[in-house]
Structure 1
Amino acid sequence: MHDIRWIRDNSDAFAERLMARGIPQADVDETLRHLLKTDEARRGVISELQLLQERRNAASKEVGKAKAARDESRAAGLIEEVASLKAGLASGEEKQRALDIALEAALAEIPNLPGMDVPVGADEHDNVEFSRCGEQPSLGFTPRQHFDLGEGAGGMDFETASRLSGARFVVLKGGIARLERALGQFMLDLHTEEHGYVEVQPPLLVRDEVMFGTAQLPKFRDDQFRAGSLAEGGSEAGDVIQDGRWLIPTAEVPLTNLVRESILSEEELPLRFTALTPCFRAEAGAAGRDTRGLIRQHQFNKVELVSITTPEQSSDEHARMLSAAEDVLKALELHYRVMTLCTGDMGFSSQKTWDIEVWLPGQGTFREISSCSVCGDFQARRMNARYRPAGDKGTRFVHTLNGSGVAVGRALVAVLENYQNEDGSITVPAVLRPYMRGVERIEPAA
């Protein structure tokens, strides 16, 4: 969410940074006109209400003076004026509420402004490589893709999952299921023991206002899953859902909202949280993409990292978060690169994003496995999350950051493809063997 006062005072800069995201100038101009017009009307109503309230207060005092002077005629006229002013105030307050709602709705649809150091570009082809780690492995044979390896080991069943739940689901079994669990546990231990994150087990179902706080709502409603019960008497799709909750698309949602509607002390910051949770995404905009395998599932596990900081801390925290996510891949001895996303490829809430892309021999390409973003005060304004600077009576909005530390399913893909052997077996990375009861190799099914 943006500060309308800042937009009012910096309209040219606001428009320029929105256009840097690839939004056409005509759309930006129309958005800005609508915002400023609504804001002007709202401020006009507020000014009118202040004048009405001042006159009402004065008239109320005059009523008492008129009655004390036994001037009943003047008192009656003043009482009638006070009643009229009261009705005018009620009407004006209703107009203000409507304009408040309209302004908030308009602001809620506008993405965060990219930082000045973010490369300007249209899409993923304009992203810039920031760093690279390791060398592309040479396996010495034609590598298989992860789904062939998983099915070959008898541990990845897409057909049964489709009968249970439809497309973009999987049943993991045996050594593959244990390897996936080992990855998640290893990541949690690394981030809590080495990087100082506090482990959290958050709810997987959240309210509308929580999804709004991290900006999944309202713009990305179609990408989410909602759980609830049909209205009384309802029986068909489209009936009103009562008492609905949203399945979290990422633990970023509940972890970031841990500080919603609160005022923290500066001494508490930064706060660092991590969680391993299932995540649920409708993938409404991904029709036809990655339809086979684990890359794009409706349900998947992910270790999330969230930081809450002061504005002065957020840039350094962003680099620290990236390093924490990189440590997962370094420990797994995987080849990867870090990309700075361009303005046209960043997420809605982000000011700046680094993606970690891991090398997948089976696909012969890099694929995203982690995304680390600094959001500034964009989410904090939506959540009303603030802190009180030391020695200051006033408050400021916190800065929020989130990152994958990392996506467990995609890490499983990377391990299967990078640690595969010519016979279809998978060597277990050394760092995971303590979580696998010493198992060093997952053999193909007989």
Structure 2
Amino acid sequence: MDASTAASASTLRAAHERFVTSPGTPSGVRRLVADSWRRCRACGVRPDGSRPPPSPRTSEELAVYRSVHPLAAVLPLFRELLGAGAADDGHVFAVGDADGTLLWVEGDSAAVERAERMRFVEGALWSEAQAGTNAPGTVLEVGHPVQIVAGEHYSSAVHGWSCAAAPVRDPGTGRVLGVVDLSGGGTIATPSALAAVRGAALAAEAELARALPGPPALLGPDGHVLRASAARCETEVRLTALGRDNALLRCDGRVHRLSPRHSEIVVALVIEGRGVTGERLAVDLSERDVCSSTLRAELTRLRTVLGPALLGSRPYALLRPVRTDFADVAALLAQGRVAEALDRCPGPLLPRSEAPAIAEHRRALEQQLRGAVLGAGDAGLLRRWVDAARGADDAAAWLALAHLLPGGSPQRAAAAARARALDAELVVPPQVGRHAALLQRSRP
């Protein structure tokens, strides 16, 4: 919508007040907005902004979800096309999924802080049904680029903002993958802002189209795949970091066995899912102060290993999408495929790493895996869990296994006995018991 033809802010607020205080057809607003307001009222959205958009995922769950989302592959492109301009002009740009969850929110620091006050933050759900009329949420309802100005927002908490958003579609199927959005002050209510998000969405779809699989592989006379179709397979960047301290990075047909420190850096960058400053990366890697020169030296050495085409700086980021074994496991768990997740998880994420970001992610993934195994009600899965080092001392798992085994069987009795023994150890730690026995033997 051209700002010159838009109703004034006061006129829009008056139209909004009439609609929310008395039933009837919205007047004084565009049909797009009127239709949206009706949907919001039907969904029970509060027009006074007293119920902020929820954030249903934990930070750990969001990090895992973002790492496997298709739009992660085009995030560097969005940053290039919209990020710098948003930061310079006092705006924020956001990328959301097809349900309205904001995956990334970046831009001018002051604008980001303002956005946080109305819960326009990573992880928050900005669908129409949760946040009222807004550009990202309304785009998901109508399926085309949208601009929402000031008082056109259904929630009065957002009346100080204007936003423009466009859908991003899967070039292979045509389904909506998510949205890209610009939010800020009055300059967002211009044709150029709408053109910017529309252009960014089209560029992202073109980038995704280039990554689509080619035609079926051709077979030679001997039944082997011809070499011409193999090059595409080698373009995937693959990180293996479960159950090992030296992660393996497969890139362009080569396998890099990373040092423990380089493994931590690469995993931390994957978990962040976006470019980070040296200061933020240092916090992710250690609870103690890390000398900035030391960290820069490590990153320089890592760039020598990986090449500048993969590891960028200012901010530090992986410049190509990376598929990881820990994200694959999380995706399998989300789909309820617990046995496959257990098969694909030989051990914890970088088990000896003490880096805070990695320890938190490792703990979250282990908790998800354990919860899925215990909740599956499958004796075979529980047996695999307790037979592995990670579940050998899990009293709850042993007890669950005992309940699932046939009554009177030796295996059930053994599992129940192990559960009781572990419970006793929790009450009286082993070292206390050993000390008491030593004192008993030494009595005169």
Give the alignment's TM-score, normalised by structure 1.
0.23
Give the alignment's TM-score, normalised by structure 2.
0.23
| Higher RCO structure, 1 or 2 (CA under 8 Å, sep 6+) | 1
Whichever structure has more helix as a proportion of its residues is: 2
